Amino acid sequence: MGWASVGEVRDALARERYLADEALATAVYLAGAIDQPLLLEGEAGVGKTETARAAASARGARLVRLQCHEGIDVHHALYDWDWSRQLLALRAAEHGRPAPQLYSREFLVRRPLLEALEADDDVVLLIDEVDRADDAFEAFLLEFLSDFAVSIPELGTITAHRRPLVILTSNRTRELHDALKRRCLYHWIDYPAPEREAEIVRARLPGVPEDIALRVCDAVARLRDADLYKLPGVGETIAWARALLALGTGDLQSTLGVALKVREDIDRVRAEGLLTGA
Amino acid sequence: MPRLDLGGLAARLRARGVHTGLGELLVAHRALAAVDAADVRQARAALRAALCSRREDLEAFDEAWEAWLDAARPSPLADPAVQTALPHVAIPGDGGAEGAAGTPVPRPAAWSEVELLRERDFAQMSDAERTAAMRLLSRLARRGPTRRSRRPRPSRGRSGRPDQRRTMRAALRHGGEPLERRWHAPGVQERPVVLILDVSGSMAPYARMLLHYVQAAVAARRRVEAYAFGTRLTRLTRELSGRDAGRALARASAAAEDWSGGTRIGEALAELNRVHGRRVGRNAVVVILSDGWDRGDPGLVTAEMARLSRTAHRLVWLNPLKADPRYEPLARGMAAALPHVDHFLSGHSVASLEELADLLEGEM
């Protein structure tokens, strides 16, 4: 269901244990209020995909997710024909069954975009990691997002019954086309401040001891200030807190591999004693 | 620096009774290509040797030469683009400050103007030659690496994998009997390229031309990222994109603040690895255009080059100084970087960038 205000979005997301700041809540609210897709960018692990997931459950909507990958095309994203069933139907027709309509809805395989388009219930469409798809697919997406209608040659044009809430995420491995960006609202998800991150950890891991939440968030904040190749995301913070919880210790040094995945980074943190006293 | 047509000189010689036919002209072109074209005295001597065949010719040659030089000095109003459209050869100027900066380059026997221009060191070019060379560079910049795409293409014959969708379509023509099997094979797509240009003081003679190449590459190809560095790294991809090359270059110059300043290769690469690491994907070819003079810490250069060579598909270094056969990579930055470089090329002339294009299009 639609939201009435930004505050409502924030509270609804918080109930899904996703703590959105004012700007993100506003962006999500607007995406629903003015029917524009929302493009989320940010470093790895800041919770871009999670936003869509939380928004879907906060609305009580179904999440339809399209994971982009290299070489993705219309047949992965929109529709395909179930060729093996088509063949079987033809064979059956030879043995006296009525001749099938091969290119009819009966043999249509719905991929995520078509599913979102034809949904009668409330749907949040997540188009994940758009930057992995190629330009050709981006151009198709542009068309799809501007009209919410697609044409399938054999079936004709299919228009959305109701516009879904659309969230796109990009890891910025390449710059998206300006035309696509213009169609979208844009929000950059930044790393949260340590206090806020501690709140996130508490929200995601209910019952986490206060000292673990604070220590992990403090350590992560220090790492993000350091000169490292790959900085830990919020996902890593939560995983780190969970790891400490599972071990029942507070040993940050020996569990550094939960937060940092580049050997040079780990060596550097150890050599420079970045976590001493943390 | 004058930019002349040898035909004009030949006409003047003929007017003074010197026999100057096509054969002599060809020899003259080749002679010019074989000497250091930046040195006006060498060029004169070469042409004199090529065009004169009797003692009497020498005096006529001296007169014709003077007249020719006078006529050829470009008027301030002359549009270099118009000049380059006319038949001509690259003719030496007296060198001057520019000539001293570069080193003579051995030239293969060549007689076309394009040949001459191709081999010519950017640092020794006249403005008109630059204009012509830029055109060649723009053409070169369209060439780049490719890789296999995951998006399949219909293929002829039985290569690749069965394409059930098209097989089904074909089967309909035979009453549902899949008589013709269809196949598809992986297509080809552009491989991402990252161009990193050194704009510090020591690169000044080359930076403008190389920036032009970088700009043309960003404009012509889809997945090209461009950076400039002196003391720090600036991303120029956005500034350099767009069709209007002049404006793009102006934007880029404004964005990269440390033109002709010092060099900190290590710091620049460190920033590239950390801040822009995602843009240097595992499948990108990274090309560094720098002379390797570094005022920073060589240890940092080693560490960051090692990181870059691990994340990039291939690492290419273009060093204009390498054109000199006597060049040895003794500059600290260069020495530190070289062990991690897959290909080390020169990058001082159109021909050397052609070499880069060949490399990029090849197997690497």
On whether ipTM exceeds 0.90, the answer is: no
Nearest to B151 among A73, A93, A230 (CB): A73
- Please indicate, yes or no, whether residues A240 and A128 belong to a single structural domain of this protein: no
Classify residue B112: in a domain, yes or no. Answer: yes
> What string of pLDDT tens digits covers the 278 residues of chain A?
578 899 999 999 999 999 999 999 999 999 998 889 999 999 888 999 999 999 999 999 999 999 999 889 999 999 999 988 888 888 888 888 888 888 899 999 999 999 999 999 999 999 999 999 988 899 999 999 988 999 998 899 999 988 999 999 998 888 888 888 888 999 999 999 999 999 999 999 998 999 999 999 999 999 999 989 899 999 999 999 999 999 988 889 899 999 999 999 999 999 998 888 76
pLDDT digits (tens, 9 = 90+) for B7-58: 888 888 888 877 777 777 887 887 777 777 667 777 787 788 778 777 777 8
Nearest to B165 among A70, A83, A175 (CB): A83
- Please indicate, yes or no, whether residues A224 and A260 belong to a single structural domain of this protein: yes
Instruction: Pick the last residue of a domain from B172, B189, B206.
Output: B189
- Please indicate, yes or no, whether residues A36 and A163 belong to a single structural domain of this protein: yes
pLDDT digits (tens, 9 = 90+) for B108-117: 444 466 777 8
CB B289 within 8 A of CB B323: no
User: What's the rounded mean pLDDT across residues B282-293?
Assistant: 91
- Please indicate, yes or no, whether residues A88 and A141 belong to a single structural domain of this protein: yes
- Please indicate, yes or no, whether residues B306 and B169 belong to a single structural domain of this protein: no
Inform me whether the pLDDT recorded for B90 exceeds 80: no
Classify residue B143: in a domain, yes or no. Answer: no
Inform me whether the pLDDT recorded for B274 exceeds 60: yes
pLDDT digits (tens, 9 = 90+) for B130-163: 888 998 999 999 999 998 888 888 887 777 888 8
Classify residue A139: in a domain, yes or no. Answer: yes
- Please indicate, yes or no, whether residues A173 and A207 belong to a single structural domain of this protein: no
- Please indicate, yes or no, whether residues B183 and B205 belong to a single structural domain of this protein: no
Three-state DSSP string of B4-54: ECHHHHHHHHHHCCCCCCHHHHHHHHHHHHHCCCCCHHHHHHHHHHHHCCC
Classify residue B158: in a domain, yes or no. Answer: yes
- Please indicate, yes or no, whether residues B337 and B234 belong to a single structural domain of this protein: yes
- Please indicate, yes or no, whether residues A36 and A98 belong to a single structural domain of this protein: yes
- Please indicate, yes or no, whether residues B169 and B223 belong to a single structural domain of this protein: no
Nearest to A174 among B189, B223, B303 (CB): B223
pLDDT over 70 for what percent of chain B? 87
User: How many Cα atoms occupy the beta-carbon half-sphere of B339 within 13 Å?
Assistant: 11
Domain count, chain A: 2
Q: In chain B, which residue's Cα lies nearest the Cα of A228? A: B274
- Please indicate, yes or no, whether residues A140 and A206 belong to a single structural domain of this protein: no
**Residues from chain B contacting residue A135 (CB–CB below 8 Å):** 222
The verdict on a CB contact (< 8 Å) between A91 and B176 is: yes
- Please indicate, yes or no, whether residues A40 and A173 belong to a single structural domain of this protein: yes
Domain count, chain B: 3
pLDDT value of residue B99: 39
Classify residue B268: in a domain, yes or no. Answer: yes
Instruction: Pick the last residue of a domain from B72, B103, B119.
Output: B119
- Whole domain around residue B222: which residue ranges? 191-361
* Chain B stretch 101-120, residues whose beta carbon is closer than 8 A to a beta carbon of chain A: none
B151 touches chain A (CB under 8 A): yes
Q: Give me the count of residues in chain B.
A: 364
CA distance, residue B183 to nearest chain A CA (Å): 15
* Chain A stretch 212-231, residues whose beta carbon is closer than 8 A to a beta carbon of chain B: 227-230
Instruction: Pick the last residue of a domain from A189, A213, A245.
Output: A189
Which CATH number do you get for residue B283? 3.40.50.410
Instruction: Say if pTM beats, i.e. exceeds, 0.80.
Output: no
- Please indicate, yes or no, whether residues A176 and A254 belong to a single structural domain of this protein: no
CA distance, residue A83 to nearest chain B CA (Å): 6
- Please indicate, yes or no, whether residues B282 and B329 belong to a single structural domain of this protein: yes
B282 touches chain A (CB under 8 A): no
What φ, ψ does residue B91 adopt, rounded to 5°? -120, 140
Q: In chain A, which residue's Cα lies nearest the Cα of B187? A: A71
Classify residue A228: in a domain, yes or no. Answer: yes
Rounded CA separation B68/B46 (Å)? 15
- Please indicate, yes or no, whether residues A146 and A83 belong to a single structural domain of this protein: yes
pLDDT value of residue B210: 93
B168 touches chain A (CB under 8 A): yes
User: What's the rounded mean pLDDT across residues B317-333?
Assistant: 88
- Please indicate, yes or no, whether residues B171 and B201 belong to a single structural domain of this protein: no
- Please indicate, yes or no, whether residues B174 and B220 belong to a single structural domain of this protein: no
- Please indicate, yes or no, whether residues B113 and B28 belong to a single structural domain of this protein: yes
3-state helix, strand, coil in chain B (%, to 5): 50, 15, 35
Classify residue B19: in a domain, yes or no. Answer: yes
- Please indicate, yes or no, whether residues B17 and B97 belong to a single structural domain of this protein: yes
pLDDT value of residue A1: 58
pLDDT digits (tens, 9 = 90+) for B94-105: 444 443 444 444
Which CATH number do you get for residue A81? 3.40.50.300
Interface test with B, best of A68, A87, A261 (most B CBs within 10 A): A87
Inform me whether the pLDDT recorded for B353 exceeds 90: yes
User: What's the rounded mean pLDDT across residues B175-179?
Assistant: 76
Helices B204-220, B127-140: inter-axial angle, 10-degree rounding:
40
pLDDT value of residue B112: 61
- Please indicate, yes or no, whether residues B185 and B195 belong to a single structural domain of this protein: no
pLDDT digits (tens, 9 = 90+) for B195-234: 999 988 888 889 889 999 999 999 999 889 999 998 889 9
The verdict on a CB contact (< 8 Å) between A83 and B168 is: yes
pLDDT value of residue B160: 81
Classify residue A278: in a domain, yes or no. Answer: no
Classify residue B130: in a domain, yes or no. Answer: no
Classify residue A1: in a domain, yes or no. Answer: no
Interface test with B, best of A229, A266, A272 (most B CBs within 10 A): A229
Interface test with B, best of A79, A86, A178, A267 (most B CBs within 10 A): A86
- Whole domain around residue A266: which residue ranges? 194-271
**Residues from chain A contacting residue B184 (CB–CB below 8 Å):** none
pLDDT value of residue B89: 43
Nearest to B168 among A81, A91, A174 (CB): A81
